[in-house]
Amino acid sequence: MNLFQRNAKLIVVFAMISGSTSGILGKLITAGSMTIGFYRLSFCLPFFIVPLLIKHRKDIIDINKKQLILCALGGVFLFGHFFCWYVAVKNTVIASAIILAGLHPLVVILFMFVFFRKRTPAKAMAGLFIALTGGILVAGMDYSFAGSNVFGNFMAFGAALCMGLYFCIGNIVREKMNAGVYIFFVFFFCWACFTAGMLLTKTPFAGYPLSDYIWLVVMTLLCQFGAHAVLNWSLGYVSSLYVSAIETGEIVSAMILAFIVLSQVPTPWQMAGAAAVITGLVYYNRHDLK
């Protein structure tokens, strides 16, 4: 194993931190969520095509039907996660959306047990629940299940379900598929879903402020390359549950970034929750499935 493979767990942590910038960048972009998804993938895909055609042409030719279907499902679930999350935050309070969308580690645990009979050690489960409890404290106590919020909460849970399945599929496919090839096909199918969404909703492809395109490039570098591409690569070396668990820590790094960039000072409860998230993830990591 090379240096990167030996340190895959640590690299996942940096990918999580990189992905936590999406909330702040999303606030800086005036375009809608469908446009954001379309462009961050459109800017990303060309950087995979040329290297793949030069170095991994044989890997592309050798892809079988089952692998291609799984890649397509991974892309659809990634699109589903983005779409459900964007709808959720527009229809319910942020706290409810964050907590429900953060349940994806439980989806991974259930999926891996039902289909592969993989059990999670009790101590690792305890670490996860400590981290999720900390997430509740960080999000605050402004929860609501009344009126239209019910729909938003339902979509937030849909975001968790899609994220969990996305990680599980990646863990399965990456066992036998080259990382670059898998990442390209997953991103391509996700991009196809966003393109179809743009057409169906009649969302304009151009005419946005120059600042939007600049921030979309930054989002592509940090969130698409620095987060999702790296996380997909890591699934060949760590478990999908580990990746999903570490993603829970995104709420802490997002809080820290909000303090640095937006001067949003965290409350004592939020700081206590952040400490619980970090403690839970460290405890989980010590007892993670090897």
Q: What is the reported pLDDT for 202?
A: 92
Q: What is the reported pLDDT for 216?
A: 93
- Mean pLDDT of all residues in the chain? 81
- C-alpha triplet 215, 257, 152: angle, nearest 5°: 75
The sign of the torsion formed by the CA atoms of 143, 134, 74, 52 equals: positive
Q: What is the reported pLDDT for 83?
A: 84
- 14-39 pLDDT tens trace: 998 888 787 778 778 888 888 988 99
Q: What is the CA radius of gyration of the chain?
A: 19
Q: Which residues of the chain carry a pLDDT beneath 50?
A: 290
Q: What is the reported pLDDT for 72?
A: 94
pTM beyond 0.85, yes or no: no
- 163-219 pLDDT tens trace: 889 888 888 888 788 888 888 899 999 999 999 999 999 999 999 999 999 999 999
Q: What is the reported pLDDT for 144?
A: 54
